[in-house]
Amino acid sequence: MEAYSVLMSIYRQENPAHLSLALESMMEQSIPTNDFVIVCDGPLTAELDNLLDSYAKRHPNVIRLIRLKENVGIGKAANIGLSYCKNDLVAKMDGDDISVKNRCEMQLARFAEKKELTVLGGDIDEFESDAEKPFSRRVVPKTNESIRKFARRRQPFNNMTVMYRRSAVEKVGGYRDFRRSEDYDLYLRLLQANYYTENLDAVLVKARVDLGAFRRRASFETLKGCVRSRWYALRTGYASLWDFLFCVCGETVILISPDPLRHWIYNRFLRNK
């Protein structure tokens, strides 16, 4: 099977214990990577630095730490990380989630089978403290056609599960600095360029979610990113005016809602139990 890189971007607020579990889940894949690029987006805490240094020493031929002097944001950090990746296939990973052991093996098998495939994700199980006790599952559309339709309003991929071709991402301009919406914006441009995409009918990652995640989602920065990405979809004809209004109004409701109501909306309309 084709070799693949892993790309992770972290910043100083990462939890060291959670990061360690995330790193282990990728280093213990049934088909291991030969290239793990970790972008440190600005100065980290001493505990995080020590943790990363210990992993880099244990895996000197695999893990590469890219340290940025200041925090530049998710999109810019991802572009920098991509420029260091050795392989065309790149698996995304977050610093507080846990990949299932055969995640990359399943994705590599599908890339080998489907030569035109460019982006491949899958479902996630969401948990608060115990990865073996998920409280919800985010199920995404599976076929290229259903992904294209779904993307008119919502993110069609669970970003922490995605494996994509770096060459395609670079051809559409890489990540743009759309805070809180960089990934959705990228996938929209890949879909508009008619790249073929799929999601596997399998849970690939156990994603850590807490009440703080709901609070962070409700911000003017998130709303701004939503408006910019959806405006791009509208302006280029990918989405309709109704799609645009539906998404922006929905994000506004989430912004102004109290935490309990926001939590209910999140679970009732945006997730599958």
Could you tell me if 213 and 135 are in contact, meaning their C-beta atoms sit under 8 angstroms apart?
A: no
Side chain identity at 30, as an amino acid letter?
A: S
- Token readout for 187 is 């996938």
Answer whether 107's CB lies under 8 Å from 35's CB: no
Q: Which long-range contacts (CB under 8 A, 24 or more apart) does 209-214 make?
A: 209/126, 209/127, 209/128, 210/128, 211/259, 211/263, 214/259, 214/262, 214/263, 214/266
Global pTM value: 0.86
Domains of the chain: 4-210 (3.90.550.10)
Please report how the helices 259-269 and 241-256 are oriented relative to each other, as an axis angle in degrees rounded to 10.
140
d(CA 118, CA 197): 6
The partner residues of 197 in beta bridges, in order of sequence, read 119
Q: What is the 3-state secondary structure (H, E, C) of 217-232?
A: HCCHHHHHHHHHHHHH
Residue where the block lists tokens 């035109």 = 116
Instruction: Report the DSSP beta bridge partners of residue 99.
Output: 205
Residue type, 87: N
Q: In whole angstroms, give the CA distance from residue 185 to residue 177.
A: 10
- Encoded tokens for 58: 């244990």
- Per-residue pLDDT of the chain (273 residues), as tens digits, is 899 999 999 999 999 999 999 999 999 999 999 999 999 999 999 999 999 999 999 999 999 999 999 999 889 999 999 999 999 999 999 999 999 999 999 999 999 999 999 999 999 999 988 999 998 899 999 999 999 999 988 889 999 999 999 999 999 999 987 766 889 899 999 999 999 999 999 999 999 986 555 555 555 666 666 677 776 777 777 777 777 777 767 667 666 566 665 555 555 555 554
Measured from the Cβ of residue 146, the count of other Cβ atoms closer than 10 Å reads 14
The Cβ of residue 7 has, within 10 Å, a number of other Cβ atoms equal to 23
pLDDT at site 257: 62
State which amino acid sits at residue 118. Answer: T
How far apart CA 77 and CA 49 sit, in angstroms, is: 17
